Amino acid sequence: MLKILNDYIHNVEDLKAKDRLKIPAQEMPAQDPNIRAHNLEEVAIGYTMEEARVEALRCLECVKQTCIDGCPVKIDIPGFIKHIAYGEFQNAVDVIKDASLLPSICGRVCPQETQCQENCKVGLALKDVDKSVAIGRLERFVADWEREQGTVKIPHVKPETGKKGCCSWQRSCRTCGCRRCKKRRTLSYYF
């Protein structure tokens, strides 16, 4: 995997789609079953920096970005993935946070296989949604990276508008609430 990164990282701009499609999908490392049977930690451990960058190199940077069509909050997916490929992790987080304030959660619990990753051209080309670019895992990776750096920033919010909004407890409502919060609406939640 390190060899793949070293082979490709110096000529990213020259990589053709056929080169990117040959890069193997990176599996998410997980705890050994014998160890995880004795703890309550997450089973999935998360990508290393190298794994994340190799996975990011698989993105075709499509002109018609069908992955974004499948994202309920319209994250600039190829935009943040490209930053990961170059090791610009803070820039990647910043791109995600333009649209979503919860990347660590969404990277873990969103059903990507029926949203962004279902529409990913890599998965479609390889005829296997499990071979799509691992958008959720990459989102989780950069969110965890930011937290580990201690550089989590409070997002900029506009001044109070006095307008009101409400949210019901349904899919995406927390992100919806965050967006309204950024626009300085006073929110009521209904469960």
Q: Of residues 54, 133, 138, 167, which one binds ligand SF4 by CB under 6 A? A: 133
Stretch that binds ligand SF4, among 30-38, 57-65, 163-171, 173-181 (CB under 6 A): 57-65
Residues 60-119 binding ligand SF4 (CB under 6 A) are 60-62, 65-67, 77-78
Least distance between ligand SF4 and beta carbon 13 (Å): 15
| Position 121 contacts ligand SF4 (CB under 6 A) | yes
Q: How many CA atoms lie within 13 A of 174 on its CB side?
A: 8
Closest by Cα among 17, 115, 99 to 66: 115
Closest CB to ligand SF4 among residues 101, 133: 133
Burial degree of 136 (CB within 10 A; 0-12, 13-18, 19+): buried
Least distance between ligand SF4 and beta carbon 175 (Å): 19
Residues near 161 by beta carbon (within 8 Å), at least 6 away in sequence: 183, 184, 185
